[in-house]
Structure 1
């Protein structure tokens, strides 16, 4: 059967069916007002054989999302919306499933026009300025998520939105504050998002709100009016109206000096001249704040004592003088002659004026001035200069290569900065460095030395007090603390026993230098064959032996020398001639003699034979 499928029933019979059409209709129509009862009807038309009843699964979708399902043996059903609201607007479609077959209907659009006018409620229509109160905007008949807007309108003015908030329900309760004083009207509306776009409702009922002034500006007083350093003052902050939960703060430089709740604030204290400035009295009721301020000026009766050191820079073992003085601003308040001075060093009162400083570089002096007023103390911190210690000379890297420049560091472990270092070199050159921080060093770029003994001429002076002799470091000590590397001199190559060698003899190639730091590396070369051998030794010479000399060993030889100074030197070439051995010469002479003898015999024999042949020929002819 081309048009359908066959199924086996319980009795073994077969049947087939096909879903011909699925139809969707909206009743009473697809364009209705909000609150109308709407039915979405779905009809299925199926052709079949041998089937008395079929099972249908109807699925209703709005904007592609399933909203309702129904299982029935009827070939039609409906989805009821009662009452229909704007949120129900959208594109509707129906899907019918019969056994393993399914078919979709056409799509139809339902447009529900009109939104319910919202209702506004307030829990307080006469709030204080900036006081929070609750407002509720609701649309009981609407469905879905709504976005609520709240508006404030003055007489003969345009609405001003004061809050916007989204709700998952059809109502929203929130809080608002009004900072102006006087009458205004509050209202609300809401927005709903549809497939066709956002839609807004009508504006709700308007409620008149009268905002009352909250007079909680604090009244502030400071007594007495003229304040001197030893006085105790009283600061009072209070408000004209009584509120049980009102808070009062006294502030200075953002620091809270005192606080009360529900009653006036009274704060007493003995100010110092440094306390002069602005005092702020601030009140807070719920989220409303008011403030007032007054300027506090504390007059200083006499200054803090001043401690002076003479001379300013004192080194160990030197005598110095301390002078203490004050300035009196209001002599009418006391007799300046009654002032007493006490001088302390590190917490111990000084009695004798003849005091010498010791090696403690940090000393703290305390002056205490006493009269009928409270004690006035002044702390003065003296940093007494520490004499410079004996400097030490060090080579940067710990190595000196003779013939190459290097760097020297001159450093004293103790001593107050700045320290001036002066370096005298082996060639009489003078260099100066001034060090002012502990992380800095006196580093000198020194010209090359050509002999180790020249280090003895180096001299470094360190000084931080022009009144005392400088401390000295000698270059002699560098000989023990520094690795001094001297390049090798030009090597010389000698042949032992001589440059004329007979074949079979042994010869020695001796490479030697006059000077150079150990270890020394010697390398021997034959110009025609390259490197012959290499040797590292702690001596000034080395040798390479060659046994059983042959003619091929004749030629030019040279050697090179090198050490950690990394300056290789090459000797002059030496020519070696390997002569033939004596027995070979004798053998050659004997061989030549025998060869000549044989040649002579051959010639003689041939001559004799020739004469014999001629004589015989002559006899035959006769």
Structure 2
């Protein structure tokens, strides 16, 4: 079967084929790649000619022709733009210098297509030796000189930044400020370039190479802003001064009254002193009062009653147009009225010695004023700032004085005065007085076998009192502690060894010892011993006398004696006298006894009545003997020894009768007994 193509179908087919061919002929080119080639190489010496070739690989329709736009960059900054229909382009750097070192790249743009090459580094080494020149070679002191250091043919880097602040350098808090820092790198682009943005010592941005810095102005933002460009060790900077006017001043928080005690009312207020009327009104400012960072009231005024609940750190915040400011923090604490003080003493109190009184209050806001009083008389007053107590020095003369002391404390004037109790329950020590040692019986009447009582007493002293007794060797013989002001000790049945010096001590504290005077005790013999000794002595004397007499008689009996007795009458008459001569072999002087009726050295004793009676009964011829002693001191040293017989003469007087009536034996015995008699007293 044959198919016939109608003429209309044939025409449509031809038209479609034409359209397809026409679309292919008009298809857009495709940039497949872009390459940057550095010639002769990436690292060259100074003065070398360097070419930067940018090659593009493009796919396009046969017979089509397109224009290529080439852009070269150094350090990401554009160098130049060139347009051609070639698939490559060259950027030449004749006589390269160190300043040409950097990072290079290129872009190819074909119609609406753009493609970039990779980045290549170019390093140019070597610098010309700099030359220093001065405008004057001969100088005198005080001349100005200009020195120039130059390396001809070298490029200087132009990296000084340009800083701008918009909208103005004079702004008000809340305004937005835009800062820009730019470096003119028309002829170079260096990726190592950094731009630092600072305000005073604060760094705001470390690299503003491709962006601006934006901020909301505040009052403390006024000052100098600086852009610093840094390339290697090279630094360049530019500054601008910004003045920021306060939208409103910092709020001030105050508490009234300044000192508040618990239970009293107080008010906290928050307010500003100024604001920018060209931007806001006072009503535009809102306030919040905080206590310990917790909102208390959304208002600029707060009232309350002082107490533990309201104590804390207060601050307030003011807000307007997005600006908020805080006040300084104020520490608020309700003062505590001073509590009732306690009065005490440190250690025992001793009369007539200073002691410390301590006044202490447990509670109370400092400072506190303490006063020491005695019977409502203020003795001392002190104000303390770092503690709740004060110490006062006091003195008493008697124990009863201690209760007259009390103290007062106040920290809010007269309305807060608190008074302590009086000083009670305090041990007061009265030092012991000088002891007096008494001995019973009295020291002069103490005999062996007696009990001797030693009594030690004091005139004053707080009990308990300790008494101690000492003997002659200063050895304690008794110690006792009593509640009275005296004590005694008995020495039982003393003997003479207990004689000596005694004393006592009294003390109620070891450092308050007092000694008595020394009392001498002398123990004498007992009475019966004295009597016995007296009797013994008398017996001894009697025995001694008897012994002497007996010894004398015994001695006399053994001694040979020769005695002659001669009686010679002087005349045969009535007044006859006779001479009796007695001699014996002893050292005695001669005695003569004459018997006559005349006066002689013998005294005549008048006869008593009894004698007269006896004489009447006697014969008239009896001889009357009258004893007369003629004392003659005998000194054996002065009497010469005599040989033979000493004659003793005694003169006898007879009243009458013949010589033969004389009793010779009696005369002889008389002479023998009296020749040794002692001298009579005149």
Q: TM-score range by the shorter chain?
A: 0.5 to 0.7
Offset of residue 488 of structure 1: 1.8
Is residue 493 of structure 1 aligned with residue 440 of structure 2? no
SS at match of 1:154: strand
**In the alignment, is residue 509 of structure 1 matched against residue 454 of structure 2?**
yes
Alignment match, 1:305: 251
CA contact (8 A) 1:403 1:450 kept: yes
1:258 is matched with 205
CA spacing shift, 1:427–1:464, aligned 2, 3 Å: closer
Counterpart of 2:270?
324
The aligned counterpart of 1:442 is 390
Aligned counterpart, 1:553: 498
Corresponding position of 1:187: none
CA distance in 2, matches of 1:564, 1:224: 94
Per-residue deviation, 1:360: 5.2
Distance 1:571 1:272, change over 3 A: same
Match of 1:378 in 2: 327
Aligned residue in 2 for 1:59? none
Q: Which residue of 1 aligns with 2:132?
A: 154
Which residue of structure 2 lines up, in the alignment, with residue 604 of structure 1?
549
CA distance in 1, matches of 2:124, 2:406: 90
Residue 535 (structure 1) aligned with residue 485 (structure 2): no
Aligned to 1:466: 413
- Structure 1 contact 559–571 (Cα < 8 Å) conserved: yes
TM-superposition CA deviations, 1:482-534 (whole Å, max 9, x none): x64432233232335654322244434332335535665534345x5434446
Partner residue in 2 for 1:223: 166
Note the C-alpha offset of 1:588: 1.0
Q: Specify which of 183, 189, 194 is matched with residue 150 of structure 2.
A: 183
Structure 2 residue corresponding to 1:412, chosen from 323, 341, 361: 361
Residues 517, 216 of structure 1: CA spacing in aligned structure 2 closer, same or farther, 3 A cutoff? farther
The corresponding residue for 2:342 is 392
> Conserved in 2, the CA contact under 8 Å of 1:246 and 1:285?
yes
* Cα gap change, 1:610 to 1:349, in 2 (>3 Å): closer
| 3-state DSSP of counterpart to 1:455 | helix
Give the superposition deviation at 1:358.
Answer: 0.9
Would the alpha carbon gap of residues 485 and 594 (structure 1) be closer, same or farther in structure 2, given more than 3 Å must change?
Answer: same
Question: Is the 1:236–1:264 Cα contact (8 Å) retained in structure 2?
Answer: no
TM-score, length-scaled by structure 2: 0.54
Q: Where do 5+ consecutive residues of structure 2 fail to align? A: 1-44, 48-96, 100-122, 136-146, 566-583, 585-664, 666-682
CA 1:280–1:533 in 2, change beyond 3 Å: closer, same or farther?
Answer: farther
1:331 Cα deviation (Å)? 2.0
Counterparts of 1:287 and 1:423 in 2: how far apart (Å)?
A: 78
Question: In the TM superposition, what is the alpha-carbon distance from 1:604 to its structure 2 partner?
Answer: 3.0
Instruction: Say whether the 8 Å CA contact 2:268–2:303 is kept in structure 1.
Output: no
Is 1:291 paired with 2:237?
A: yes
In the superposition, relative to structure 1, how do residues 369 and 451 fare at CA in structure 2: closer, same or farther (>3 Å)? same
Cα deviation per residue 1:8-29 (whole Å; 9 max; x = unaligned)? xxxxxxxxxxxxxxxxxxxxxx
1:237 aligns with 2:181: yes
Report the CA distance shift for 1:467/1:571 in structure 2 as closer, same or farther (over 3 A).
closer
Tell me how far 1:223 sits from its aligned partner.
2.2
Q: Which runs of 5+ in 1 are unaligned?
A: 1-122, 137-150, 158-179, 185-208
Q: 2: distance between equivalents of 1:545 and 1:287?
A: 113
SS in 2 for 1:578: coil
* Structure with more of its chain in strand, by fraction: 1
Distance of 1:474 and 1:134 partners within structure 2: 100
How has the CA–CA distance of structure 1 residues 304 and 494 changed in structure 2, closer, same or farther, with 3 Å as cutoff? same
TM-score (norm 1): 0.59
Q: Is the 8 A contact 1:345 1:364 kept in 2?
A: yes
Deviation (angstroms), 1:469: 2.6
Q: Measured at CA, do residues 522 and 265 of structure 1 come closer, stay the same or move farther in structure 2, by a change above 3 Å?
A: farther
Contact 1:181 1:212 in 2 (8 A): no
Larger radius of gyration: 2
Structure 2: how far apart are the matches of 1:513 and 1:360?
A: 64
Task: Find the partner of 1:355 among 298, 304, 308.
Answer: 304
Corresponding residue of 1:75: none
- SS of alignment partner, residue 333 of structure 1: coil
